[in-house]
Each structure stands twice: as C-alpha cells, then as structure tokens.
Amino acid sequence: MSNKQFDVVVIGAGPGGYIAAIRAAQLGFSVACIDEWSNEAGKPAPGGTCTNVGCIPSKALLQSSEHFEHASHGFKEHGINVEGLSFDVAQMLKRKNTVVKQNNDGILFLFKKNKVTFFHGRGAFAGAAGAEGYPIAISGPTTETITGKQIIVATGSNPRALPGAPFDEKLILSNTGALAIEEVPANLGVIGAGVIGLELGSVWRRLGSKVTVLEGLPTFLGAVDEQIAKEAQKLLTKQGLSINLSCKITKVEAGKNNVTVEYTDAKGEAQKATFDKLIVSIGRTANTIGLGADKVGLAVDERGMITVDHDCKTNLPNVWAIGDVVRGPMLAHKAEEEGVAVAERIAGQHGHTNFNTLPSVIYTHPEIASVGKTEQQLKAEGVAYKAGTFPFLANGRARALGDTNGMVKFLADATTDEILGVHIVGPMASELISEAVVAMEFKASAEDIARICHAHPSLSEATKEAALAVDKRTLNF
Ligand code: FAD
Ligand code: NAI
C-alpha cells in the first residue's frame, strides 16, 4: 500500500474526527486525518470548534471571569480582603489562546504517537470508490489526493446567523468573536438564551457588562427539567443577567460602533435596544461545505445534516459520519463516543453509543447538568415515576465552600425504582453528573445510590440524599 492509500480516512479533526482516527489506529488500521483549521500563524490547529472556538476557550474564559467574581464578591465572606483588584482582558485572552494551543499541539502529538498521518487542508470526495477506496482530494496548505477504503466524515457545524444580519465578528458576533472581545462592552446584547448565550453572557457580565438576553421561546431552557430550569433562571437573573423570553427579533442593524436590535417583547410591544456588541447564539448548522457530497451522492437531509442510521452509517458503503454533522445533540463527548464506536464497527466490533445516558452541562455558575429524562418528558410519555430533590443548602461541604445554591433531583421508575433521569443545578454539577451517568448505564435503582457510601463532607452526598429523597428518606433535610 502506498503512502497515499489508507484503510481509514477521517475528514475533520474535531473531537469526533481526531478521536475516531486515534481509535482506528489503535485497532491496527493505517489512518489519515485531514483538517483545514489554521491558527493565526497559518499552522495546523486540529481540535475543531471544540478546541479552537468552543468548549476549551469558553471554559478558559469562564474560569478567569469566575476567579475575578470570587475575588470581587466571594472572598470577603472568607475573611480575605482584596484591595485594588483589577483585571486584564488582554492577559485573559492570551491565557485562553495558550490553553487552546496546548490542546492543538496535544492532538498533533497524539497523531504522531498513534501513527495517524495528518494532512492540513480541506478534504473533499473526488469521485466514486475504486479498488483502493474513495479518492479524497486535499486542497489548501497541502494539495494531493489520497484514498481511503473507509471514510469517516466529521466536519462539524457552523454558527447560524440571523437572516439579514451576517456575522462581522466586530459588532455582530458568533462564538468566534464572542471569545475574542478585547474590551469589556458596557452594553452587551445576546440573542438566544441557549448554552452559548448563557455561558458567554456570564463571562462578560462577570467582567462588568450589562447583559441583555433576548430569547424567542416563552420557556427558559425548554429542554432542561422544568424545576431545575426555573431555579437556574432565578439564580442567573439574581446575578444580573437580564433574561427576556418570547422576544421576536424584527431587525438587527449594525452601525459604526454599535448594533440596534428591534423586537417585540412578551407583551407584543415593539422595543428597540442598542448594544456595543451583539452575540447571536441561536443554534448551529451542520457543515458539509466543500465536502463534495454531491460528487458521490452522499445523502444530506433538509437541515443540511448527513443522513445516518443509529450506527452512523451513511447511504454509501464504507462511508460513516459522526458528531455535529449528523443528528443528535451537538456535544463534544457525543462526537467522541460516535468516533470510537465507528472505528470499532469498522474493525468488526460492536461499538457502543447510548443516547439515553448522554450527559449535558451548561457551565454557568452554578452549573446545570443533566442525564436521562426530564420530569416533563416522563409526564408526556405517561411513565409513572417518583421524584426526589435535595438542596445544596443542606449539604455541609457546600456550606463550607460558601456555594449553597441549587439542588440535585432524581427521577426513578415508580415500580422498579430504576433511575430515569438526574438533574442538577449547583456547584460542580459537571463532575457530580458522572455518578448518575454510571448508575444509569448500569441500570441502577435510586436505592442503589442511596445505599452506597459517599465521602463526607462532599458535594456528592447531595446526590445520595436526592436518591434517598425519592422514597422520602432524606437524612439531612
Ligand atoms: P468540530 O469540532 O466542528 O470539528 C470539525 C472539524 O472539521 C473542524 O476542525 C473543521 O475545520 C474541519 N473541517 C470541516 N470540513 C472540512 C473539510 N472538508 N476538510 C477538512 N477539514 C474540515 N460541547 C461540549 O460537549 N461541551 C462544551 O462545553 C461545549 N462548549 C461549546 C462552546 C461553544 C462556544 C461552542 C460553539 C460549542 C461548544 N460545544 C461544547 C459543542 C462542541 O464544540 C461540538 O459539539 C463539537 O466540537 C463537535 O465536534 P465535531 O468533531 O463533530 O466537529
Ligand atoms: P442552543 O440551541 O443551545 O440555543 C439557541 C437558543 O436560541 C434557543 O433557546 C432558541 O430558542 C433560541 N433562538 C433560536 N432562534 C432565535 C431567534 N430568532 N430569536 C431569539 N432566540 C432564538 O444553541 P447555541 O447556544 O447557539 O449553541 C449551539 C450548540 O453548541 C448547542 O447545540 C450546544 O449543544 C453546543 N454547546 C454546548 C455547550 C456545552 O455543552 N456546555 C456550550 C456551548 C455550546
């Protein structure tokens, strides 16, 4: 086999693609991974949206801004006085960029370690499969054609713009611009109270922006358990985020130094607001731009997503698609799970993906984390269930931390006691949810968690207590 022929070619090196490439290499295949993302120096920057303009940089800025918020409001209660406190946005952005680069370089190192051949450029189907597999043309910094017997498409997603208001990344910002604001805007507008709007809205609010969030739907975080969403809305509003529901945006106009948004509010009244910057975070669309899907007849649905079955098989033999470019939640760990599973299926193994136990987390403070069914879903499905909640206010560790907002909520089957959903708004919810994921993957009952010893004092005791609450047996509340 020449160095241009591979068993597996992965297009895209986001969390879906790079993990698929590594797993395929571990399984003994010759693997190529193609990615077009470049850093400011024009060098390869694998890791996709997640590493470059998503999960990683947003968490870096969330951490910096949270440190500042603690120092300015939280330390006093602990007897720590900080005088002359200030922050330096340029340093925060520099640190964020360093964290991103460490991740980019880490992936290039992992490719070397696992003998994955990396190509920097855009990959596109160049024609039908021949004896050596599908020809894939690479253009950009690298220009050549390689072949792959198996192709994994992992080309991710792009931010959705409002009609008539394209992103200029100076005044009208997607996630890319929102992660690179150089001066704290006095007045920041956010359209869409989803995950990006709340996380990045929180970053800039903590640093002093007046943040106004305009959400189209009448419900706040409609996909989250209602009780948890209500609590989160209360807490985020108390922090100073102005969350406005049922807003219909009628016009967005960028001026020289600011953006004017016209909308009708929940009462149906016409409103006009002017912002120094506007983040538009109204969801993302699958990315198949320049992939040459039409050249090979790769099926794409009406939303632009590559059509796949449960196992990520497309309509073409030996062509798979994973991550944001296919159905399902747009989450990095979902993309990774699919990447591993597809590599294993190519190897004839039984790759495992379970959407019922896929956790999701919103990294506000407090964090909002969930897995499984919400109470409103169980009601709609007519499932008989028991619910138990436990507030962090009654948890010793949370009190010691000075972080007592929120609760853990368990939903269990009324007959079998099997855990059907766990929802948390509270400190370190992103870490606490893992116990629930493991429990659900093993089909545990609420009683199982209630009987397991949890370290004291720890936030995880709130999880145990919420499991006890399902049968009205909390010990500390
Ligand atoms: P991507 O990460 O989008 O990667 C696709 C890659 O393919 C890119 O590098 C792209 O340049 C490349 N590419 C595309 N077409 C081609 C081509 N033809 N040839 C070569 N290369 C190509 N998810 C979480 O789970 N947790 C979080 O905390 C989180 N935070 C987020 C914060 C923000 C601000 C955003 C925007 C998203 C966040 N996400 C988070 C979502 C997460 O980033 C995505 O779900 C994840 O990146 C999807 O991975 P992917 O591999 O499918 O695609
Ligand atoms: P989202 O789907 O989370 O939220 C979009 C919000 O915008 C929704 O509430 C929607 O009702 C609203 N909306 C849509 N059109 C609107 C309009 N015209 N006017 C007003 N409101 C409107 O999408 P978001 O925040 O853009 O994030 C994109 C994806 O990135 C998400 O699917 C998420 O999975 C992923 N992500 C994940 C994170 C995490 O896991 N912590 C962090 C950030 C993003």
Question: Does this complex have an ipTM over 0.90?
Answer: yes
What is the distance in A from the centroid of ligand 1 to the CA of 303? 17
Per residue in 320-338, pLDDT (tens digit) is: 999 999 999 999 999 999 9
The confidence score (pLDDT) of residue 3 equals 62
Per residue in 34-76, pLDDT (tens digit) is: 999 999 999 999 999 999 999 999 999 999 999 999 999 889 9
The active-site residue out of 78, 310, 352, 456 is 456
What is the distance in A from the centroid of ligand 1 to the CA of 50? 5
Tell me what the mean pLDDT of segment 431-454 comes to: 98
What percent of the chain has a predicted confidence (pLDDT) above 90? 99
123 is annotated as contributing to ligand binding = yes
Q: What is the band of 1 on the pLDDT scale with cuts at 50, 70, 90?
A: very low
Q: Is 16 in the pocket of ligand 1 (CB under 6 A)?
A: yes
Per residue in 130-155, pLDDT (tens digit) is: 999 999 999 999 899 999 999 999 99
Residue ranges of domains in the chain, CATH in brackets: 3-158+285-353 (3.50.50.60), 172-281 (3.50.50.60), 357-469 (3.30.390.30)
Running DSSP on this structure, what letter comes out for residue 392?
G
Cα separation of 244 and 261, whole Å?
13
Best residue among 11, 39, 155, 333 to mutate for probing ligand 1's pocket (most ligand atoms within 8 Å of CB) is 155
Tell me what the mean pLDDT of segment 285-304 comes to: 96
- Contact residues of ligand 2, CB 6 A cut-off: 162, 191-197, 199, 214-217, 247, 249, 281-284, 329-331, 360-363
Residue 70 annotated as catalytic: no
Residue bearing the CA closest to ligand 2, atom 33: 330
Q: Is the pLDDT of residue 369 over 60?
A: yes
Cα separation of 341 and 360, whole Å?
19
What b/e string do you get for 300-331 counting C-beta neighbours within 10 Å, with b at 16 or more? beeeebbebeeebbbebebbbbbbbbbbbebb
Residue 156 · residue 49 · CB < 8 Å: yes
Q: Is 327 in the pocket of ligand 1 (CB under 6 A)?
A: no
Q: Classify 469 as helix, strand or coil.
A: helix
